[in-house]
Amino acid sequence: MKPKTAAEEIFETEFSVTEAAERVLAGTKHTPEEWREHYATLARKYRGLLKQAVKITGIGDSTQNKLIRIQEELAAKNAELTEKNRALIRAQEALLRSQERAKTIFSAFTEALPGMVLDDRYRLDRKIGAGGYGAVYEATHLSLANLVAVKILQPRGGKVTSEELGRFKREGISACRIQHPNAVTVLDFGISTSGFAYLVMELLNGKTLSDEIRENGRLTPKRVATLLYPVCSVLAEAHAMGVIHRDIKPDNIFLHQSAGGEIVKVLDFGLAKLVGDSEVGGSRPAEITRGLIIGTPKYMPPERLSFLPYDGRSDVYSLGIVMYEMFAGQPPFSMINGDMAALMTAHLQNEPPPLRLFNPDVPEHVERLVMRTLQKLPAQRPTAQVLADELRSMRRG
């Protein structure tokens, strides 16, 4: 037989006391001794009932108080984490503002460089772009008389530090490790006699994905798959080699117009993290070093904004933001009125608006794929290879 609970025993006792009282009240003749005996029995049973009730009530109060204390502790911890998160975002925002000011100064300086010859080999002809810690020029290889692209490192402070040279050199090392037709080809690396660190790459002709989105707005699933499948293919190979790009965005996806047609090229592996390498070129590939945030906040995954460990799926999140932007004509999270803190908070806490809210023509299964890439937890995102397989099917369909 199943043992009775304390509550069941209390109810049974209460019923028996009530029945005894009713029998006493219904009786017509009772001696004083009988009344005293009935009263003593009732009092004894009520005292037992009271003791059990107090015991259970005490247990309940203790449990409830414990739960209240736990809730208060959790609320305090949550408030503490919220404040730390706000402080982190404020610090990141200040660093980014500082980097933007340095970029503006460097941009003005680089306007005066066309005509300069680096190491008697490369003549800088015209500036064609900037980003990823440097300015890019169309240049002439004087010995071979052919055109190349030369990237000049943007120094911080008054001179190029060994840390920056190490990061810049990693761009060449990382890019050279990835022999893929959709990755930009790196031809040379050096430091000029005048102190400029530079990287020589194949010269591309065409436009960036940013230009494509700006010109055409929302793109079709087939066009999105056609453009992003090569990017996923490059990333899958890079991740397999232990290289994470860390700055996937429309400006770093180039639509090169070759004699054989359009070729998608992934640019700027200068921010790449070589996973497992404690040092590369004498410089630690740290996420943030000496007040420098690596990457672009609009496309940065939550784990990197929080300085948590990350892997190749951080690139998948960034590519998911790009994919969302290609379908919707706008990213899921934007900086409004220069509010960088609100943008970072959105990446950390907010769910992206449903994609079909901006583009009802997107098939539901495509929307689900995009939303999978934007999961806050990296483990819930597909890998670059899985995403490449999905995009290959979409491209065929």
Kind and range of the H or E run holding 135? strand 134-141
CA distance from start to end of the chain? 65
Which two three-digit tokens encode residue 228? Answer: 């992003």
**From CA 155, how far away is CA 295, in angstroms rounded?**
16
Degrees, nearest 5: CA angle 183-395-389: 65
**From CA 343, how far away is CA 165, in angstroms rounded?**
31
Burial of 225 (0-12, 13-18, 19+ CB in 10 A): buried
Q: How many CA atoms lie within 13 A of 353 on its CB side?
A: 13
Catalytic residue among 61, 188, 247, 311: 247
Which among 326, 327, 346, 328 is positioned nearest to 336, based on CA atoms?
346
β-strand 146-153 against 197-201: which pairing, if any?
Answer: antiparallel
* 247 has catalytic annotation: yes
**Packed helices 364-373 and 384-396: angle between N→C axes, nearest 10 degrees:** 160
Which residues form the catalytic set? Answer: 247
